[in-house]
A and B are shown apart, each in its own frame.
Chain A
């Protein structure tokens, strides 16, 4: 049983300088769930996460995190939340150990030294503990940041693009660790631009232009898009891509190596658009379920059309 949702907010709004950055945002995330937070740059992901942990005050709307009111009980929320900022924001002029020690003191952790030593050990950084945090590579900085924001054993983790600029191996380790934390009952909200990461989430939320456009499991979101997709392989797909672009019924054409993805909202119209080319030599046409990326790009295009 999951009980009451760990994150439960509704109709959150936030404007900067008269520009609406987050619009009527609502989300519920259950305990132990990993919720992926996706959307193009500037869509309001960071702003939303900041409102959840009390770093920004919403203009209107409200709700609870860990059963605590996000408007009035920010201080109590902060003690139980681990927030990993988009940009590395621990002290680059402090050593790894000093950073962890600082965090341990701020949260008033019992057996501080021991906890810091254990964290260093888990990180595999015991030998480099005196190295300045600023001297670490991107991947190690990210590991340090995660270790630091989980040191106080938070019940909710808010991770803002934690794997941006991190190599694939480090990313995979990172996600293994996220899943271990979730198994221990920690709830995770993680923003990302990577599709493979989105697929490792229990559920996803897609935000564009401040609006929540899709919500649910990856399968839900793909099914909910109502998108028809064809995969075309063979010689000359690049030339085909250019001709298909302007056809009615074709919403999106994207080339992945030798494979062309063509998608549209109306299956019949799309099939008609492709019909002319099916006779072409060597091209192989195959209807396929849309990928998450197809769906997101479609959603973003729709949102852009609606708002501009």
Chain B
């Protein structure tokens, strides 16, 4: 359809870009989505999400009070994970408390516990957990191991000394690098940057192009000598600018509200951001060539957004997924961007560490752009 003389024109690209910026500015909904979504998500998720919950409500049944029982409970509470909220006299109530969500754990110290300890009979201490959500109980249960070893050391003195655990044959030393205190925000907030860019980027472009078709302005656009690439550039460049504004918002929040460390180069990050935003916008543009109306465009955006959210390693540990799910995850730009942004901010990664995740996004961008330009019709057929 397009003759060879008809190269890419700066004037036409500029016409599209200017028009798009004006429309963006006038459309309150879009504007609210561009600024409102990042601010809301960062505040909401940044403050709300905690993958290492502490002070979990615990029911306690002590069948027979003793020094051992008291010290055990103190040791449990000292881990920070358990907080005794219920003292239960009748152990039969425990299943009810767990089932009705009133406690996360129930600790039962049986009759004759102290005597059995003193006799070296290794009695059983029962801790029941509502393990419906493994993430909520995992860390707390891991902390129990240590308790069995040391909780009663103070009480096992004198003749009982021999009941103490012997020291292990070797010592394990753990270095929690990059996030020694296990602060969830350090992981979540940079991740949110990717999530926000994916969500708004795909949706905004998909809507922007579909709107032209729905309002009938596409027919006019097609009747003018604008080439598909120029339309695409015009639809994408303004939203890249929007993406950068969103990135700055998230970075400001990360720094001032959540004190997320920023060790690496922000210049390198902005390169990653550029490619990542472009990839998402290209997806949105492609969707718009398929969608018949804005509602469909919206639905398609969600179809892309959900797997991105769930399989990228933002919500759940990437390495916890089976191979096939990891393969899908590897194909999603968000997966790689999360590694890039977390790597740069928390680990101080440089070009060498970032490159293995940069090229897959770039490849994705190229493939999607080719699909988009092939699908974009110069006619109304």
Contact = CB atoms under 8 A, between A and B. Distances in A.
A105 B219 contact: no
A89 B1 contact: no
Contact of A108 (B11, B215, B217, B219): B11
- Secondary structure dominating the interface of A: loop
A74 B3 CA distance: 9
Interface in B338-381: 378-381
Contacts, number: 81
B3 A76 contact: yes
Interface string A69-82: 00001111011010
B2 interface: yes
Contact of B223 (A53, A87, A105, A108): A53
Interface in B1-57: 1-3, 6, 9, 11-12, 14-15, 18-19, 22-23, 26-27
A147 to B, nearest CB: 14
A50 interface: yes
B139 to A, nearest CB: 52
B215 A103 contact: no
Contact of A93 (B23, B222, B223): B23
Nearest to B378: A74
A57 B1 CA distance: 10
Interface residues of A, number: 31
> Which size bracket describes the interface of B in this complex?
20 to 34
B216 interface: yes
B381 A56 contact: yes
A78 B224 contact: yes
A75 B6 contact: yes
Contact of B19 (A85, A92, A102, A108): A102
Contacts of B162: none
Contacts of A108: 9, 11-12
B380 A55 contact: yes
A90 B220 contact: yes
Nearest to A103: B224
10 contacts: A50-B380, A54-B379, A56-B381, A74-B378, A75-B225, A78-B223, A85-B216, A87-B216, A105-B12, A105-B18
Given A91-B217, A93-B23, A103-B224, 11 more contacts: A53-B223, A54-B379, A55-B219, A73-B3, A78-B223, A85-B220, A89-B218, A102-B18, A105-B12, A106-B11, A106-B226
Interface of A: 50, 53-57, 73-76, 78-79, 81, 83, 85, 87-94, 98, 101-103, 105-108
